[in-house]
Structure 1
């Protein structure tokens, strides 16, 4: 059995688009970042924590993912409110930042962590454009306060994987296909 430890509609859609048969069974995970924790170390810790305990069933494969937006080595989490969303998008306006998506895979034999990174450049938006985006797209469930898939996204350009930015490191996932291909 393939188990996805995420409630993300985007991750669910990506796995469905691959034709995979899986169950969704997230577990509560503390996503608080620690002082002086690097973005990759944070991503590894959270992605692995989301996997939960080792499965006892040898046919069970658990996957998790976490996505973070990083600017100047600072992790930009999901905004708590409109003010935080405004501050994040203002900070990123006209600049390039990184999006990291971590991948955790756990079987009863092994635990794997890997990640992908993409660069995203934002349009140089003014305050009314930022506020309009926040009020129409309501990006409160998205790291960095935006979704690249949004029709009026502040993203101007990107370098790397679109699906990584969307929230799942598909290129890394395919590297471990021997663990999950039987669920196609």
Structure 2
């Protein structure tokens, strides 16, 4: 029997797996989201996702040591990149305002690193979506931050929120990747594991 574990407490990743009709459970083990300074921006979210997956795999092996059960662990990390600089989650209102102001009227990349572990087998990849924002007014930025409190989101926004509806001009790539998980690619990889 194979069991799928999502190594993330993101409600959006959970929702995307549910939409894909995948049975899974959520197990999260705290990891430091630090990475070696020499990594490329594309490799950073994959590195962090791998750390999350390995922490949960170690925990799952100690709890579910019965031989009849095999775990498939899915972990992901999303970063927003503007001018080759990673923009993380905002610490407070001022940082969120500064972040959205810097994204306003420009294109940026959203990179989600995904690591899927099954025993010693690992599938790892990064999915990249380019996002263009309209010019945002100060009033729009402050309204969004005060109403939606995007402090748990890389880049201080959620594409599925109000800001995505009114502020995003175009995207090139997977919409769901910007939400936090390139779900169709994950489903394809899970099917390959089953074969």
TM-score, normalization by structure 2: 0.86
Q: How does 1:37-76 map to 2 (within 5 A)?
A: 37-52=39-54, 53=57, 55=61, 59-76=70-87
- Provide Cα deviations, 1:146-173, integer angstroms capped at 9, x if missing partner: 0100123332221111100110022321
Q: 2:97 aligns with which of 82, 86, 94?
A: 86
Note if contact 1:114-1:172 (Cα within 8 Å) is conserved in structure 2: no
Q: What is the match of residue 159 of structure 1?
A: 172
Structure 1 residue ranges, 4+ long, deviating more than 6 angstroms after superposition: none
The structure where helix makes up a greater share of residues is 2
Q: Which runs of 5+ in 1 are unaligned?
A: none
Q: What is the match of residue 173 of structure 1?
A: 186
User: How many corresponding residue pairs?
Assistant: 182
- Residues 179 and 76 (structure 1), Cα distance of their counterparts in 2 relative to 1, 3 Å cut: same
Q: Which runs of 5+ in 2 are unaligned?
A: none
- Provide Cα deviations, 1:3-60, integer angstroms capped at 9, x if missing partner: 0000000010111111111110011111135434321121121010010246565621
Distance 2:50 2:178 in 1: 20
TM-score, normalization by structure 1: 0.91
- Residues 82 and 33 (structure 1), Cα distance of their counterparts in 2 relative to 1, 3 Å cut: farther
